[in-house]
Amino acid sequence: MKIPISIVKKSGDIVVFDVEKLTNSLRRASAGENVIQQIVGEVQSTIYEGMTTSKIYKIAFDLLKKYSRVSASKYKLKTALFELGPSGFPFEKLVGKLMAHEGFSTQVGVIVQGNCVSHEIDVIADKDDQHCFIECKFHSDQGRFCNVKIPLYVNSRFLDVEKQWKKQKSNEGKISKGGVYTNTRFTSDATQYGKCAGLLMASWDYPFGNGLKERIDKSGLHPLTALTTLTKNEKTKLLDLGLVLCKEIYENPEVLNQIGISKPRHKNIIKDAKELCSLH
């Protein structure tokens, strides 16, 4: 049996390094078993007491990129979501596209009159008789969780727009819901309040087994920031053009010309984008 090694999390918490967790995260990225064994072996040979999880992640990511660029893209999904910033707008679009994929008709960034004041609603999503008002909370910083104040204000905002919305005769008999989507995590009282208040709640890992990570993987709606074949600057240009998904690149490959990427690089970028979206 090996001596347990303590490592340091982003939060500052010290935990024992768990090789199973590393293996699972690589497996989630669809890395082959051989590659996983290779990476786990290399990480174990370099790990030391007090190493940070982000350093371990970086080593694993760099190795994975060498063996399989597309697995590396899947592996960096969480980081890729952060890279949608600094503004929250690309994340709102991503949430809109996820809900559209799930059968809703969606609008992003709409000013809606409430009973007391008007509000900007990040995503309005309709399906059959359901009408959802979703607030997106984007954080650029891993350490920032969504605390209870977020679902609290979202609920008041929802109740204010719902009150006005119900006054319209055409909305009679329809069901309305409020919701919060975030790229980070909720504190436990935030989920507790949100559930109790009847809000639709989604975060990186909530609801368990159907968080954003699983929903993105299942739908193939990977953000373009996951691609390892684009530079940060190129990603920013694509986001500025209004694109947010890998899918949108291979569906409109001319955007690569538009942002000045030389022809010889197109093939690899499109190949990775396609592979990533089809890898479930």
Binding site for a second copy (CB under 8 A): 115-119, 148-153, 155-157, 160, 189, 192-193, 196-197
Q: Minimum Å distance from CB 109 to a second copy?
A: 17
Residue bearing tokens 């940060």: 232
Cα end-to-end distance, the chain, whole Å: 35
Go through 212-227 and write b for each residue having 16 or more CB atoms within 10 A of its CB, e for each that does not: bbebbbebbbbbbbbb
Residue bearing tokens 């935030």: 190
Q: Minimum Å distance from CB 118 to a second copy?
A: 8
State the Cα–Cα distance between residues 73 and 68, nearest whole angstrom. Answer: 9
Q: Minimum Å distance from CB 152 to a second copy?
A: 4
Distance of CA 167 to the CA centre of its chain: 35
Q: Minimum Å distance from CB 25 to a second copy?
A: 31
State the Cα–Cα distance between residues 146 and 153, nearest whole angstrom. Answer: 12
Taking CA atoms, 174 is separated from 61, 102, 104, 116, 166, in Å, by 47, 19, 15, 22, 9
Q: Minimum Å distance from CB 180 to a second copy?
A: 12
Residue among 160 and 248 whose Cβ is closer to a second copy: 160
Instruction: Find out whether 269 and 249 touch, Cβ atoms under 8 Å.
Output: yes
Q: Minimum Å distance from CB 212 to a second copy?
A: 23
Residue among 131 and 157 whose Cβ is closer to a second copy: 157
Residue among 159 and 270 whose Cβ is closer to a second copy: 159
Residue among 37 and 188 whose Cβ is closer to a second copy: 188
Residue among 6 and 118 whose Cβ is closer to a second copy: 118
Q: Minimum Å distance from CB 167 to a second copy?
A: 15
Residue among 150 and 276 whose Cβ is closer to a second copy: 150
Residue among 15 and 116 whose Cβ is closer to a second copy: 116
Instruction: Find out whether 207 and 215 touch, Cβ atoms under 8 Å.
Output: no
Q: Minimum Å distance from CB 78 to a second copy?
A: 26
Instruction: Find out whether 146 and 153 touch, Cβ atoms under 8 Å.
Output: no
Q: Are strands 105-113 and 200-202 parallel, antiparallel or unpaired?
A: unpaired
Residue among 142 and 156 whose Cβ is closer to a second copy: 156
State the Cα–Cα distance between residues 35 and 55, nearest whole angstrom. Answer: 19
Taking CA atoms, 149 is separated from 134, 188, 244, in Å, by 16, 12, 28
Among candidate residues 90, 168, 96, the one with its CA nearest the CA of residue 133: 96
